[in-house]
Amino acid sequence: MRHSFRLEGFAYALRPIRETDAAFVVGLRRDPELGAYLHPTSGRIEDQAAWLDAYFQRPGDYYFIVETLAGGEPVGTVGLYDSDGETAEWGRWLIRKDVPAAVESALLIYRAAFHAVGLAQTYCRTVAENAKVVSFHDSSGAERVETLERHFQLGQVAHDAVEHRVDRRRWESMRPKLEMLARRLAQH
């Protein structure tokens, strides 16, 4: 959905995705390492542009570009979607491998969820084999709720998913640690 939320951190910001970001998104999604746990996608920019056109019509869907504060260079994507006004899933999280924006982009998407959008709770579902991302959510303080068997169908293979949840109370306990880590990474 078209929205106007912009959130700034220490070195990175979230801004609404635009039609002109289609080529950037395709580049991220087609990277073999970044795309290892994603649904297969077309490499055609026109297909991504069509997907974005449909996205702009969906209510309760907030898709962002992660960009540098100094210069506005896009370095990743993240989103909140399937919102019912109280709860939303957060995902579409892809960050270029050469930038340390993961912690700060997570901090900013939680700010978007709880402060800009006004949600009561978020959840994310990660392919269980994606140990790096599962570990990030565990260490960030998100509550690991369950493992969903055969939740994701990626190509011909079914994968389990690990679900993490964060409500407002948990967010307030997580926030200082994420802010400290994001500030430290921004100084390097």
Where do we find the tokens 């260490």?
Answer: 139
So what's the pLDDT on residue 188?
80
Residue 152 belongs to a domain:
yes
Mean pLDDT of the chain: 96
Domain that holds residue 178: 7-186
State pLDDT tens for residues 133-169.
Answer: 999 999 999 999 999 999 999 988 999 999 999 999 9
Residue 50 belongs to a domain:
yes
Residue 1 belongs to a domain:
no
So what's the pLDDT on residue 108?
98
So what's the pLDDT on residue 39?
86
Q: Domain with 139 in it: what CATH number? A: 3.40.630.30
**What average pLDDT does this structure show over 170-179?**
97
So what's the pLDDT on residue 171?
98
Distance CA 61, CA 55 (A): 7
Distance CA 47, CA 24 (A): 13
Q: Which residues 6+ apart lie within 8 Å of 166 measured at CB?
A: 110, 121, 122, 123, 141, 142, 143, 174
So what's the pLDDT on residue 41?
86
Residue 58 belongs to a domain:
yes
User: Into how many domains does the chain fold?
Assistant: 1
Distance CA 149, CA 159 (A): 7
Residue 2 belongs to a domain:
no
So what's the pLDDT on residue 175?
97
Residue 98 belongs to a domain:
yes
Residue 47 belongs to a domain:
yes
Q: Does 40 score more than 90 pLDDT?
A: no
Q: Does 89 score more than 90 pLDDT?
A: yes
**What average pLDDT does this structure show over 77-88?**
97
